[in-house]
Structures are given as C-alpha cells and as structure tokens.
Amino acid sequence: MNIDDYLRLGQISIETAVYTCAPILGFGLVAGFLVSIFQAATQINDPALAFIPKIGAAIVGMVLFGHFMINRIAGFTIFVYSQIGNIGVH
C-alpha cells in the first residue's frame, strides 16, 4: 500500500464515523433545542429536564437509522478486511 491508499482509508474512516454519528447527534441537537426553548418560555430551570428528551431522541434516531448505521459499519469492516492482504506490498 502506498500513501494514497492510507489516505483513502483515513477518508473512508472519517466518513463512516460522521455518517453513523450524525443521525443520533442531529436528533439530540433538535431535542435539546426544543427543550431549551420550552425552558426559556416557561422559566423552568431544571437541568434534569433536558436529559430525558435527549435520551428519547437518541433512541428514536437509533431505531430509525440503525439499519443504515449497521450497514455502513459492516461495509467499512468488509473494506478494511479486504485491504489486509495489501499491507506491506510495494
């Protein structure tokens, strides 16, 4: 493998990490934003109030996008294992 192959592997690794984390983080971000608007409107300043909707949003994100995330990780794993034979070959 040459330097271009290693750079491509790094690029695919980062893309896989971003694509698998983005749905859960996005749902958590939206839930946190909505809870903060609710807390500002009602002047309820309970820090524990923000955690339950974020956890629920993360679970919803995993249920909705879990199949996509598992397929993406499995595809990456297959790609990495297929590249093992090329390591050290010049």
Q: Which of 80, 27, 84, 15 is nearest to 57 (CA)?
A: 27
pLDDT of residue 6: 85
pLDDT of residue 5: 83
Question: Model confidence over 77-90: pLDDT tens digits?
Answer: 999 999 888 776 66
Q: Which of 9, 16, 21, 4 is nearest to 81 (CA)?
A: 9
Question: What would the two tokens of residue 50 be?
Answer: 């923000």
Residue 25 has pLDDT above 90, yes or no: yes
